[in-house]
Amino acid sequence: MANPDPLAALYTTAQVRALDRAAIDGGISGIELMERAARAALDVLRRRWPQARTLCIACGPGNNGGDGFFLAALARVADMQAHVIATSEDSTGDAALARERCLREGGQVTLAASALPDSDVPDADVYVDALFGSGLNRAPAGDAAKLIAALNAQSRPVLALDVPSGLDSDTGVAFEPCVRATATVCFVGWKRGLFTAHGPDQCGERSLATLDIPAQVYAQSAPDAALLQPQALPSRPRDSHKGRYGHVLAIGGDLGAGGAVRMCGEAAARVGAGLVSIATREANVGPILAARPELMPHGVHVPRNLEPLLARASVLAVGPGLGQDDWGRGLWQAALPAGKPTVLDADALNLLAATQRALPSDCVLTPHPGEAARLLGIAIAEVQADRFAAVRALAQKYRAVVVLKGAGSLVADPDGRVAVCPWGNPGMASGGMGDVLTGVIAGLLAQSLTPFDAACLAVGLHARAGDLAARAGERGLLASDLFPYLRALVNGHFLRDRP
């Protein structure tokens, strides 16, 4: 088995525990791993907050607390003041040895029961969360919950060790309460929950410390998922012509929704589709031609008007502004049997949820959580409770590549592969963003990418373009603001610039 890229590999909590055990079985003691984690945390502290001189470290009874005790000892050796608040009188396993080391170095350890009579914490330059780490699958309670509330109430920065306490490291669901960290240093391997659902908000700036575990340890098992990496398309040969790069047909734009299908079509063109046609209401033809004459809009009154357009197209993008009345349903029913590589979005997904139909073999579905819930016949809360399980279930049920949109968008195929997007921002929660993503996927399919590769590249391009556009501010970000950045990114500009 090839060694996974540690910067891209995402693991479940159980997988990371197995890596820990394999490293220990290979000769690295548990206490040595704990000290390495503490040294990595101190490195992050010095880099992130070089002026910090006082720390307040909240320690639980287990190994995460041990990391915190070791950090306190190392900090004092580095001439920093470290005050430890512990939730228990005793620590377990290797954490007990770390606690002894902390006390030997002159560290102050106060029990949370006596330190928090008023739900407050001592003053410090930086606070450190070493309460639970990974594996917590319930809401924190008792003194730990009080400590978390106190950490969240103060205004100084918080560094979380491994995982913010209260965050489910497998799903990214934040229990109440949950530490809202300024930065998180993750140990051994990325936990997949740090990158989706509530994970990005709770983690803040993320960094990974593999603790010098040998590569052969990681080679023993495949990660559960992978982070998307910055990518672009290769340069084209000089004798290129538009016929080489596909013909996208975007279908949608009911009355009052012509902008959706127009943005979808332009997105496909901006990432390099050779030709883009649009099947829409007659009323939308003039405005689309006036705004973007490179697109080829056609007024379609009834499904049979779609047939010549389907015959010329190589890829279909169905759903932006489509609606669910007789007009939209008729076009949807006519498009699916064409057998062309197809992207389904918006009302095309709602129609599919209401009436199951056979899908083309090369198909990409792009639901947001509400649409995903309808497609699976479950509640939205169930989708968000485990986004990894939901996206895999959708891919298997529909035998298609699925993009589950949201914070930390996921891409899955029917074989269980999952990729996670680490980019994107809240400014992208605005109308038309999904229409643009649909067009980007279709434009890449038209250039002969496989459905999974097209979806992965498109999700990354879309999110990175959103981050670049948001440099002027997240509020007020429009879907069309992404177009110049999409063109730059797909051509390799900003390839090493992680916005």
Q: Which residues contact 464 (CB under 8 A, 6 or more apart)?
A: 230, 423, 485, 489, 494, 498, 499
Q: What token pair was written down for 201? A: 């908000």
Nearest to 109 by CA among 160, 158, 56, 157: 56
Instruction: Provide the 8-state DSSP code for 343.
Output: E
Is 483 in contact with 352 (CB distance < 8 Å)? no
- Tell me the CB-side half-sphere exposure of residue 280, using CA atoms within 13 A: 34
Show the 3-state SS of the chain: CCCCCCCCEEECHHHHHHHHHHHHHCCCCHHHHHHHHHHHHHHHHHHHCCCCCEEEEEECCCHHHHHHHHHHHHHHHCCCEEEEEECCCCCCCHHHHHHHHHHHCCCEEEEHHHHCCCCCCCCCCEEEEECCCCCCCCCCCHHHHHHHHHHHHCCCCEEEECCCCCECCCCCCECCCCCCCCEEEEECCEEHHHHCCCHHHHHCEEEEECCCCCHHHHCCCCCCEEECCCCCCCCCCCCCCHHHHCEEEEECCCCCCHHHHHHHHHHHHHCCCCEEEEEECHHHHHHHHHHCCCCEEEECCCHHHHHHHHHHCCEEEECCCCCCCHHHHHHHHHHHHHCCCEEECCHHHHHHHHCCCCCCCCEEECCCHHHHHHHHCCCHHHHHHCHHHHHHHHHHHHCCEEEECCCCCEEECCCCCEEECCCCCHHHCCCCHHHHHHHHHHHHHHCCCCHHHHHHHHHHHHHHHHHHHHHHCCCCCCHHHHHHHHHHHHCCCCCCCCC
- Paired with 322 in beta bridges are none
Q: Report the pLDDT value the prediction gives residue 498, as an integer from 0 to 100.
A: 46
Q: How far apart are CA 120 and CA 346, in angstroms?
A: 48
Instruction: Provide the 8-state DSSP code for 337.
Output: G
Q: How far apart are CA 297 and CA 289, in angstroms?
A: 7
Q: Report the pLDDT value the prediction gives residue 117, as an integer from 0 to 100.
A: 60
411-417 CB contacts, 8 Å cutoff, 24+ apart: 411/228, 411/452, 411/455, 411/456, 411/459, 413/451, 413/452, 416/392, 417/225, 417/452
Show the 3-state SS of 274-290: CEEEEEECHHHHHHHHH
Q: How far apart are CA 280 and CA 149, in angstroms?
A: 53
Which residue has tokens 């960290």? 181
Which residue has tokens 């489910």? 168
Q: Report the pLDDT value the prediction gives residue 496, as an integer from 0 to 100.
A: 62
Q: How far apart are CA 471 and CA 176, in angstroms?
A: 32
Which residue has tokens 């006036």? 290
Q: Report the pLDDT value the prediction gives residue 120, as an integer from 0 to 100.
A: 76
Per-residue pLDDT tens digits of the chain, which is 499 residues long: 567 898 899 999 999 999 999 999 999 999 999 999 999 999 999 999 999 999 999 999 999 999 999 999 999 999 999 999 999 999 989 999 999 999 998 888 999 987 666 657 889 999 999 999 898 889 999 999 999 999 999 999 999 999 999 999 999 999 999 999 999 999 999 999 999 999 999 999 999 999 999 999 999 889 999 999 999 999 999 999 999 999 999 999 999 999 999 999 999 999 999 999 999 999 999 999 999 999 999 999 999 999 999 999 999 999 999 999 999 999 999 999 999 999 999 999 999 999 999 999 999 999 999 999 999 999 999 999 999 999 999 999 999 999 999 999 999 999 999 999 999 999 999 999 999 999 999 999 999 999 999 999 999 999 999 999 999 999 999 999 999 999 999 999 987 654 3
Instruction: Provide the 8-state DSSP code for 28.
Output: -
Separation in Å, CA 203 to CA 14, 151, 193, 277: 20, 14, 10, 43
pTM: 0.96
Q: Report the pLDDT value the prediction gives residue 121, as an integer from 0 to 100.
A: 87
Nearest to 441 by CA among 408, 403, 468: 403
